[in-house]
Structure 1
Amino acid sequence: MGKRAASDPASGYDRLRHHDEPWIKAAGGAEALHTNLGTARFELEKSHEGLLTSENAGDFAVLGELAAVRASWVRRMSTAQGECGSLAGKLRTVAREQRTTDEAVGEGFGPLVDLPVQSTPPLSLTRPPSSLYLLGGSDK
């Protein structure tokens, strides 16, 4: 324990302080994924437009498989997009709730910060007990 930590009961406060930045940054990343998945799904659907309804679709058995795979990917992207959208809000909620909790805890300790700090422990804690005390007698 350093000199400051020994003399200042609030010396660890800065190390325990909550910061919103990681949560807000993660929420921004989730929103970006939400947007990019929407764009990717749109481009996938657009690239397959007319392919399965063309006059020659019946000539290629692989087009049926392609339709199944495309539908599967569209479902997966939609699910992931929805998850990313809800995750962004949840991450922001965590940041807000932790900040509120930190402020409440800080306010709860506020009255204690103004108390005088006793630099040395009471004499009863620094003085070894007498041998009479150790044998069950009085230490006074």
Structure 2
Amino acid sequence: MTGVRGRNDGTAPPSGGDGCGQRLKHSDGPWLRAAGGADELKTHLAPVQQELSLAHQGLMSGAGRLTALAELAAVRESWERRIQVAQGECGSLADKLRDVARVQGGTNEAVRSSFTSVRVCEGDER
């Protein structure tokens, strides 16, 4: 179905009510929702380290010198580092997603304003 008017798959020009095609609309909503999701994940991870610490509290004291417990401590330390890294990544990602929304909105506005003096449509005889 190539060339079908109104289909926006790259094979046909988009249709619109003003004869110039559909207008590109930018919304920062998806970017900001994704940033909020990253912030929520970071917040959700915050108490995990303390919960992990509480779960292991007293475990080492009654067990003597069991090798498995020493390994468990190493695994715990590894998870604590991973949690910290994940929190950092979530915070960084949230900031970057907000920046994308801001920059994209500014870029779209700059492009829009640069074309305000030029409006040429197919069939326009200006």
Q: Which structure has the highest helix share of the two?
A: 1
CA deviation vs aligned residue, 1:37-64 (integer Å, no higher than 9, x gap): 1122221122212323x2x332432210
Point out where structure 2 has 5 or more consecutive residues left out of the alignment. 7-14
Q: In 2, Cα distance between the equivalents of 1:79 and 1:101?
A: 32
- Where 1:110 maps in the other structure, the secondary structure is coil
Q: 2:76 aligned with 1:73, yes or no?
A: no
Aligned pairs for 1:1-140 within 5 A: 1=5, 5=16, 8-9=19-20, 11-13=21-23, 16-52=24-60, 54=61, 56-113=62-119, 119=123
- Give the TM-score normalised by structure 2: 0.77
Structure 2 CA distance for aligned equivalents of residues 80 and 42 of structure 1: 15
Query: One-letter code of the match for 2:64?
Result: G
TM-score after normalising by structure 1: 0.70
| Amino acid in the other structure paired with 2:89 | E
C-alpha separation between the residues in 1 aligned to 2:104 and 2:33? 15
* CA distance in structure 2 between the partners assigned to 1:8 and 1:43 by the alignment: 61
Instruction: Check whether the contact 1:7–1:119 (CA below 8 A) recurs between aligned residues.
Output: no
- Specify every segment of 5 or more residues in structure 1 that has no aligned partner in the other structure, as ranges: 122-140
- State how many pairs are aligned: 113
Bigger Rg over Cα: 1
Task: Tell me: higher relative CO, structure 1 or 2? Use CA pairs within 8 A at least 6 residues apart.
Answer: 1
Q: Distance in 1 between matches of 2:92 and 2:124?
A: 53
Percent of aligned pairs with the same amino acid: 48
CA RMSD in angstroms comes to 2.3
Residue identity opposite 1:38 in structure 2: A
Equivalent position amino acid for 1:17 in 2: K
Residues 74/7 of structure 1: CA separation in 2 closer, same or farther (3 Å cut): closer
